[in-house]
Amino acid sequence: MTLYVLLEGVIAFLLVAGGAFAFIGSLGMAHLRDFYMRLHGPTKATTLGIGCMLAASMLYFWVIDGKPHIQEMLITLFLFITAPVSAHLLAKTGLHMQLRHEDKTRGNPPELRDEEIGEKPVPHPDRGHG
């Protein structure tokens, strides 16, 4: 068995795994019950799926051209840095806006203490501060 056949198998595995993770993440976003549960689909499974696809693309073009391409590495790095940060910001916004959630996701985070929230934690820009 040659090295190219082995590399084609690795590339095919990464593509299939990436497609499966992206599909599972999309299903999770569509079928989970509340906002906080829905954050897990795109931030975990879909990020891993896109990462697998980018790794397969990087490996494919490395085998074809004989040199690594920096674009896929940069996209993967940007994706793995921005996805957790955006999920954290979305979750904090959901907590401050007091979005309804299932009892399964209920906890007692410090953001929900009464002395920190007040009457209206996040005023809507169109409705003013009152």
Q: Is residue 10 very low, low, confident or very high in pLDDT (cuts 50, 70, 90)? A: very high
**pTM (global) more than 0.75:** no
Whether the CB-CB separation of 80 and 54 falls below 8 Å is answered with no
Quote the mean pLDDT of the chain. 82
Give per-residue pLDDT as tens, 28-47. Answer: 888 888 888 888 888 888 88
Instruction: Give the pLDDT score at 38.
Output: 85
Q: How far apart are CA 54 and CA 47, in angstroms?
A: 10
